[in-house]
Amino acid sequence: MTEGERRFHEHFMRLAMREAEASAAAGEVPCGCVIVQLPEGCLEPGVAKPRPIEDILEARVIARGHNQTELLRDPTAHAEMIAITAAAEAVGDWRLGRVAVYVTKEPCPMCAGALVCARAAMVVWGLNDLERGGEGAFGILSSNRLNHRPRLLPGILEAECRAQFTDFFSERRKENRR
């Protein structure tokens, strides 16, 4: 990965981290998601030599989401699901072929399945979840048995994303002891 690509991905992961902060402030598990429309020629199927993803000004945030399962009393109200719905509305199609999805924690199996169905070009996450993650535990995003496999980029700002989670749960444990 070039320095420009690293900066690009970190920029959008920081935006997802802001969404995670909104989750935590509402008492929700701190997971945030941002969906970015990529410039033409980047990660498109059939493009022999795709353009590098480096120019932040050429990309556009089309959707944001953060966990709202408690607020909405809905087990599907994960950050990714909310953002996918908003992105589909923004582009006017359920196919999100030219988007990169930035999420602070590896998508769960439900969200990973939705990202495959939505045809996301790329899924970028911070914190790995080897026990329950849709990719780490189940291999959904890279499965040859499914009709679409996005490019995967795990571990972007992993330490910062991990800190959001550990700080949130540490604070919850303190509150429960009171």
63, 90 in Cβ contact below 8 A?
yes
In whole angstroms, give the CA distance from residue 32 to residue 34.
7
CB 72 within 8 Å of CB 19: no
For residue 86, give Cα distances in angstroms to 33, 58, 66, 131.
Answer: 11, 20, 12, 29
What the block records as the tokens of 131 is: 């026990």
Quote the tokens at residue 145: 């048995």
Q: Which of 5, 19, 28, 80 is catalytic?
A: 80
Please indicate whether residue 28 is annotated as part of the active site: no
The one-letter amino acid code at 157 reads L
User: Could you give the 3-state DSSP secondary structure of residue 87?
Assistant: helix
Query: Between vectors from CA 154 to CA 153 and to CA 159, what angle results, nearest 5°?
Result: 135
How many other C-beta atoms can be found within 10 angstroms of the C-beta atom of residue 14? 17
C-alpha 105/C-alpha 162 separation (Å) is 8
Active site residues: 80
